[in-house]
Structure 1
Amino acid sequence: MRFEGTAEYVSTDDLTVAVNAAVALERPLLVKGEPGTGKTELARQVARALGLPMIEWSIKSTTKAQQGLYEYDAMSRLRDSQLGEARVADVGNYIRRGKLWQAFAAEQKVVLLIDEVDKADIEFPNDLLQELDRMEFHVYETGETVQARHRPIVIITSNNEKELPDAFLRRCFFHYIRFPDPDTLKRIVEVHHPDIRSDLLTTALTQFYEIRETPGLKKKPSTSEVLDWLKLLLTEDLAPEDLRRDGASALPKLHGALLKNEQDVHLFERLAFMARRQGR
């Protein structure tokens, strides 16, 4: 069971090695990187390449680790008992399975994505240590122990918004997805836009990297954003010469796909103003 990338996903050599190492070690793969570099999509493509179902657990700031195991709906049981419902005799009727339980109970091996683990509070990863390590947990309300029928391939993503506990990191195989170099980004673009003209692609990517490397930029545009930008360029049927910027306008064409806050827009407006002054 080896991952080699897919026709829809360009996997670099080091990323391919990381995925296969995590599978071989039966350890969770912790993937970090800038937002928009394909961390979530990696899990979907691993599942597709290996022919496995995927279970996705998207983490929010309010998510608790217990929700990944199960939730006991005590209020519904109380209400049903007041109404004389017969189903209250079985507490299992009020247990809702979480994503980990679904992965453990699956008929075959699955890919379990725990997406954006760093959104939750700092104790969230530690609360999952034993369950991810032993692949089992106890249901106190019913007295049963749930064990994984098939050990899932666990992929955990993080946008690096907060530090993760050392005890959690020790149990993971770690990989940082670096922002792609121009050659790799060109391959990624050609997967999504196979008919794009080479001269337009070269001009657009040159301008894109110039934007990313602009000093003072608050949010650098990501891979997903350059793909959206190129889609707009193709939709508008723009030519390479349409992308040229002069001192009157330092903002790129259709800049709303690349610049996502007013500070960065103002930065390019100031650069245009300075260029005009120097040109006098």
Structure 2
Amino acid sequence: MSFSSTTTYIAPPDLTVAVNAAVTLERPLLVKGEPGTGKTELARQVATHLGLEFVEWNIKSTTRAQQGLYEYDAVSRLRDSQLGDPRVEDVKHYIKRGKLWQAFTSDARVVLLIDEVDKADIEFPNDLLQELDRMEFHVYETGETIRAKHRPIVIITSNNEKELPDAFLRRCFFHYIRFPDAQTLKQIVSVHFPDIKERLLTTALTQFYEIRDTPGLKKKPSTSEVLDWLKLLLAEDLTPEDLARDGANALPKLHGALLKNEQDVALFERLAFMARRDGR
């Protein structure tokens, strides 16, 4: 099994090396990077490219590691026992399987995505150490041990919102997705907008990188945001000349696709004010 760029996803050489190394080592691939750089989409593309089922576990601040294994609904069992329901004799009726259980018991190898692991409590990664290492876990209510029929390809994403434990990091193959350079970004854009005119693309990406490099920017626009912006430019049939910025207006056209908070909008308004003042 070997992963590479697909018709809908441009993977830089270092990223393909990381994916294939993790598969070879049978270690989880921990992927970090700015939001919007394609971390989640990477897992989907790996599954599609390798022809494997895709299992996705989206992590929230309230998610517990146990939920990925299974949950025991004791309340429902108690209620059913009070109603005389015969199902209470079999505790399995009250076991809800989690995403790891689903991935472990699949009849074929799967790609398991644990998305945004850093959103959960700091102990969350530690609580999954043994399960991801041994590819098995114990169900205390039934006394059975669930073992992986086929070791899944595990991809874990993080937005770097908090540090992950060293013991967890030791068990992973790590890769940081750097923001793509101009040439790689052009390739990415061409996948989504194959008919975009070269002059418009060059002008738009030049302006986009200027915006990203503006000192004091609170949130730099990401790959997904530049794709949204280009989609709007094409929908409005704007030309390279329409994108021109001057001292009177430093804000880019349709800036709401790129600037996502009032501080950054105010920053560009201040730049416009300073440019007008210096021009007098």
User: TM class, shorter-chain normalised?
Assistant: over 0.9
Contact 1:106/1:149 (CA < 8 Å) preserved in 2?
Answer: yes
| Separation of aligned partners in 2, 1:105 and 1:84 | 32
Q: Deviations over 1:203-242 (max 9, x none)?
A: 0000000000000000000000000000000000000000
1:215 aligns with 2:209: no
> Do residues 51 (structure 1) and 48 (structure 2) align?
no
Shift of 1:47: 0.1
Which whole-Å CA distance do the structure 2 matches of 1:4 and 1:142 have between them?
Answer: 42
Whether contact under 8 Å (1:204, 1:243) holds in the other structure is yes
Match of 2:104 in 1: 104
Q: Which residue pairs with 1:129 in the alignment?
A: 129
1:146-203 superposed Cα distances (whole Å, 9 cap, x missing partner)? 0000000000000000000000000000000000000000000000110100000000
Find the aligned partners of 1:126 and 1:153 in 2 and give their Cα distance. 19
List aligned pairs for 1:234-253, cutoff 5 A.
234-253=234-253
For 2:193 and 2:212, the matched residues in 1 are separated by: 21
- SS of the residue corresponding to residue 211 of structure 1 reads helix
Contact 1:103 1:148 (8 Å CA) reproduced: yes
Compute the displacement of 1:5 (Å): 1.8
1:42-93 deviation line (CA, Å, top 9, x unaligned): 0000000000000000000000000000000000000000000000000000
Which residue pairs with 1:66 in the alignment? 66
Contact 1:29 1:173 in 2 (8 A): yes
Structure 2 gaps, min length 5: none
Letter in 2 for 1:215: P
| Aligned residue number for residue 2 of structure 1 | 2
Instruction: Determine the structure 2 residue equivalent to 1:34.
Output: 34
Distance 2:192 2:81 in 1: 56
- Separation in structure 1 between the aligned mates of residue 123 and residue 246 of structure 2, nearest angstrom: 51
Query: Is 2:215 the counterpart of 1:200?
Result: no
* Alignment pair present for 1:139 and 2:124: no
Please give the residue correspondences for 1:184-195 in structure 2 after superposition, counting only pairs within 5 Å.
184-195=184-195
Query: Match for 1:69: what amino acid?
Result: L
The 3-state SS of whatever aligns with 1:55 is: strand
Normalised to the residue count of structure 2, the TM-score between the two structures is 1.00
Cα separation, 2, equivalents of 1:222 and 1:246? 24
Tell me if structure 2 keeps the 8 A contact 1:5–1:46: no
Distance 2:121 2:234 in 1: 42
Deviating beyond 2 angstroms after TM superposition, the runs of 4 or more aligned structure 1 residues are none
Q: Given the two structures, how large is their TM-score scaled by the length of structure 1?
A: 1.00
